[in-house]
Amino acid sequence: AQKVTQAQTEISVVEKEDVTLDCVYETRDTTYYLFWYKQPPSGELVFLIRRNSFDEQNEISGRYSWNFQKSTSSFNFTITASQVVDSAVYFCARSETFQGAQKLVFGQGTRLTINP
Amino acid sequence: NAGVTQTPKFRVLKTGQSMTLLCAQDMNHEYMYWYRQDPGMGLRLIHYSVGEGTTAKGEVPDGYNVSRLKKQNFLLGLESAAPSQTSVYFCASSLGTAKNIQYFGAGTRLSVL
């Protein structure tokens, strides 16, 4: 299986620090999509961003930014000036064709704790 | 706007008991999925459906069955629960192509004793 790897199992920082969550993926596909999801303590999975493999422009949304580098198969997520509400488990995922259908391959998740 | 709704939210079973998890979506999505989430393993695909009346096996289908009799509903069944099926189960739906976002339900926490 072509994996998605989030090497950081847990990260703990103090509020207002910047933090980067790493994501590295494997794929044989030329076209694919990358995603980040947030799972807050309440448990639901919340979609954050989708990136097309042909679009390597970085994206910024408020305090969140994403750095996609196809050459290193990485799609890292940075939170600037972190806040306690950012505490959650974050999942990186990649689309994959599976038996003719589309599915997501998830990384193991990174548990981010923002301390006041 | 309900999105994806899962019932029940919590359940405790004894080994050998059976149960059905219900997933309902109101977005008219073609694709529906069942995942399980275990510590340190991310989400793994159990079964999926590409449309009403169709189902297919995912990565970890053993011990589970599914049905998609109506487009908006996707049922996950455990015929004889085992402790290894203790997990958090998530249902998701999407329009179907690679670019489409999967929208998730709130999850069902299942414990098998």
A34-61 pLDDT, tens per residue? 999 999 998 899 999 999 888 888 888 8
Structure letter (DSSP) for residue A41: T
Judge: A45–B58 Cβ closer than 8 Å, yes or no: no
B64-69: long-range contacts, CB 8 A cutoff, minimum separation 24: B64/B34, B66/B34, B68/B32
Q: Which residue has the higher pLDDT, B96 or B23?
A: B23
Question: What's residue A29's pLDDT?
Answer: 83
- Between CA A30 and CA B47 the distance in angstroms is 25
Band of residue A1 on the pLDDT scale cut at 50, 70, 90: low
By C-alpha distance, the chain A residue nearest B6 is A44
- Rounded to an integer, what distance in angstroms lies between the CA atom of residue B64 and that of residue B53? 17
Q: Hey, what's the torsion of the CAs at A91, A97, A102, A108, to 10 degrees?
A: -20
CB atoms B50 and A101 under 8 Å:
yes
List phi, psi (to 5°) of A56.
-95, 10
From residue B102, alpha-carbon distances to A13, A82, B20, B43 in Å are 30, 26, 22, 13
List, for residues B51-97, the tens digit of each pLDDT value. Answer: 999 999 998 999 999 999 999 999 999 999 999 999 999 999 998 77
- What residues in A contact B43, CB-CB < 8 Å? 91, 104, 106
Contact A103 B94 (CB under 8 A): no
By the 8 A CB rule, do A96 and A109 touch?
Answer: no
Structural tokens at position B60: 């970890």
Using one digit for the tens of pLDDT, what is the confidence trace for A75-107?
Answer: 999 999 999 999 999 999 999 887 777 789 999
Across the interface, whether the CB atoms of B99 and A33 are under 8 A apart is answered: yes
d(C-alpha A1, C-alpha A63), whole Å: 33
